[in-house]
Amino acid sequence: MTTADDIKASAEALAAVLTDMRAGVAFTGAGISTECGIPDFRSPGGVWTRNRPIDYQAFLASREMRAEAWRRRFAMQEVFGEAEPGRGHRALAQLLSDGRLQGIITQNIDGLHQASGVPDEQLVELHGNTTYATCLDCGTRYALDWVRERFVPREEAPDCAACGGPIKTATVSFGQPMPAAAMAKAGALSAECDVFLAIGSSLVVWPAAGFPVQAKRAGATLVIINREPTELDAIANLVIHADIGEVFAAALRL
């Protein structure tokens, strides 16, 4: 149980790091978005745990799998469509605009960092974005509403209007190569930061979880904020086991 005193002490420790931070980087996972109503990967009964994920090869291999992927995506729209940035997103947006944070690397696909005002050039999305779709062959971008209009009548996955290729949410599926430009940018940010804030990630998904290790090796102060222990607690300079929104609200007086 986290008491009010624990939160106060954690917030003070975090505030001390944030005050000295000059070129920080934040790395965020599903935990920063749970207070916005989007369950994290491991919550029991969450949308993510009910179905085995459709991997990239299966998606490409059959039209039926593509239809199933779209069925699931539109079923989740109630959750994703209504979500608004939380206190953690707002705190990071403020640190960016203050110039204390250089960038945010996220594993999330919910678009909530952008919604909190973070410019695209300061955000690295390692696993893409589920709030729009792209053609896998020619890259044409589609709004989800465009896909939905064509999907709904017969529950058939539509193909690209320009080239006939398969259309998929702009996320990175299991079995799909990691986006090279995003990986390179995340690596550069991790190598150059003075403070690395790992927020709301169990830090078990690789290669993404390699960035905190890289930052620490390059001399950064590693801060981990997560309500449960993570794989990398042992190498961190500061570990805060508390609610993300609460601790940022107290540290930055949001």
* CA distance readout (Å), 240 to 42, 90, 235, 237: 19, 19, 13, 10
Pick the closest to residue 240 from 89, 5, 14, 1 (CA basis): 14
Between 48 and 74, name the residue whose CB sits nearer to ligand NAD. Answer: 48
User: 111 is in the binding site of which of ligand NAD, Zn ion, none (Cβ under 5 to 8 A by kind)?
Assistant: none
By CB under 6 A, tell whether 202 contacts ligand NAD. yes
- Shortest approach of ligand NAD to residue 153 CB, angstroms? 29
CA 148 – CA 157 distance, rounded (Å):
9
CB 203 within 8 Å of CB 239: no
- Shortest approach of ligand NAD to residue 69 CB, angstroms? 15
Between 32 and 160, name the residue whose CB sits nearer to Zn ion. Answer: 160
By CB under 6 A, tell whether 243 contacts ligand NAD. yes
Expressed in angstroms, the distance from the first to the final Cα of the chain is 23
Specify the residue for token string 């398969």: 166
Binding mask 112-151 for ligand NAD (x = CB under 6 A): ---------------x------------------------
Between 194 and 243, name the residue whose CB sits nearer to ligand NAD. Answer: 243
Binding mask 22-61 for ligand NAD (x = CB under 6 A): -------xxx-xxx--x-xxx-----x-------------
Helix (H, G, I), strand (E, B) or coil at 165: coil
- Angle, helices 210-217 vs 180-192, to 10°: value is 30
By CB under 6 A, tell whether 108 contacts ligand NAD. yes
Between 176 and 214, name the residue whose CB sits nearer to Zn ion. Answer: 176
Among 154, 180, 228, 253, binds ligand NAD (CB under 6 A): 228
H helices present in the chain, as ranges: 4-20, 47-50, 56-61, 63-75, 77-82, 87-97, 112-115, 144-151, 180-192, 210-217, 244-252
Q: Can you give the binding site for Zn ion, defined by CB under 5 A?
A: 135, 137-138, 140, 160, 162-163, 165
User: 163 is in the binding site of which of Zn ion, ligand NAD, none (Cβ under 5 to 8 A by kind)?
Assistant: Zn ion
CB 33 within 8 Å of CB 86: yes
The sign of the torsion formed by the CA atoms of 134, 138, 140, 145 equals: negative
Establish whether 127 is a catalytic residue: yes
User: 243 is in the binding site of which of Zn ion, ligand NAD, none (Cβ under 5 to 8 A by kind)?
Assistant: ligand NAD
Interface residues with ligand NAD (CB under 6 A)? 29-31, 33-35, 38, 40-42, 48, 107-110, 127, 200-202, 205, 226-228, 243-244
> Which of the residues are catalytic?
127
